Structure 1
């Protein structure tokens, strides 16, 4: 199951113990099978998101961007990975905080291409044009209207995204 599917299951039955077989949360846990004598129940954080009269839950990440190639990009990360990219190498899905990764508007296209090549291994950090802050809540913006992606699914456009980390909001068996 994907991160978006897991978030939908958590939203529909918050007290249930969940399992996942795919997505970035699954990758953060080492891609466990969830079967056999070694299966464990793990408490997991989630992100409560709100923007311009709308709201959603995220289990992995929310990204606010106009494009990857120019302008500010902000990723609110509950896990370290966004697909094949290790965006927030220090992020943990049960530490009560999100890693807010902000790429400066001033970063050149050439630099963005170089950073992109290092994203799969997490070696894009530290970088003077990329800021990482660990926060339990906050509001992020990119300086105008931008696309909002939650757990890999586009949710329209907005100017500001507010987030609150809800510690131990659900449990996964892995």
Structure 2
């Protein structure tokens, strides 16, 4: 069951003897999907930061966190799983983050140094999307990037934020797609479906 408003998230359990450590969001996703049921503990990355970033050390008691997963489909062909986020932007030669559309779909709260969403939660059965339209200017992008590390946002009609369970996008041209911080190629269409309570991690 996904988290209920006002309820604590996670339960304290004995440390699994076969706990697998994952030093990135990509490794977390790989371990959770390659060997379903294996106990996984993020030790770095944006999901790790979202669940509190407590060092594991030799603690005998850990917190078991249920999380949602994002099922990602590119161009109606390639599929992947994300635990933290999915981004789409112009290729570097086309301006990258500084020109054209930018899409950030968040399961975690953080994207690197950026605190992208504060109301989202990795176990609420929904994902949060933040979109910058092509008309979002260079000055406004600079200001947005300056504020994002502290969770601040620039109010602008070219920024759209939404909460969703399933959503699709079609872009005017192919954009670079990154899943959990790893570039996976380019696509003109993107579909994301939230899979509630699909996995657990330890922290």
Q: Taking structure 1 as the reference length, what is the TM-score of the superposition?
A: 0.94
- Runs of 5+ consecutive residues of structure 2 not aligned to the other structure: 1-22, 91-95
- Tell me the residue number matched to 1:13: 35
Is the Cα–Cα contact under 8 Å of residues 115 and 149 in structure 2 kept in the other structure? yes
Output the aligned Cα RMSD: 1.4
Query: Which of residues 18, 29, 33 is equivalent to 2:55?
Result: 33
Residue 108 (structure 2) aligns with: 79
Unaligned runs of 5+ in 1: none
Deviation of 1:120 after TM superposition, in Å, equals 0.3
Q: Using the alignment, how far apart are the partners of 1:11 and 1:20 within structure 2?
A: 14
Aligned pairs (5 A) from 1:73-152: 73-152=102-181
Secondary structure in 1 aligned to 2:67?
strand
Contact 2:143–2:154 (Cα < 8 Å) also in 1 = no
Between the two structures, name the one with larger relative contact order (CA 8 Å, sep ≥ 6): 1
Which runs of structure 1 show a deviation greater than 3 angstroms over 4 or more consecutive aligned residues? none
Aligned counterparts of 1:96 and 1:125: Cα–Cα separation in 2: 27
| Displacement of 1:38 | 4.7
TM-score by length of 2: 0.81
Give the number of aligned pairs: 174
How far did 1:91 drift? 1.7
Given the alignment of the two structures, is residue 61 of structure 1 paired with residue 85 of structure 2, yes or no?
yes
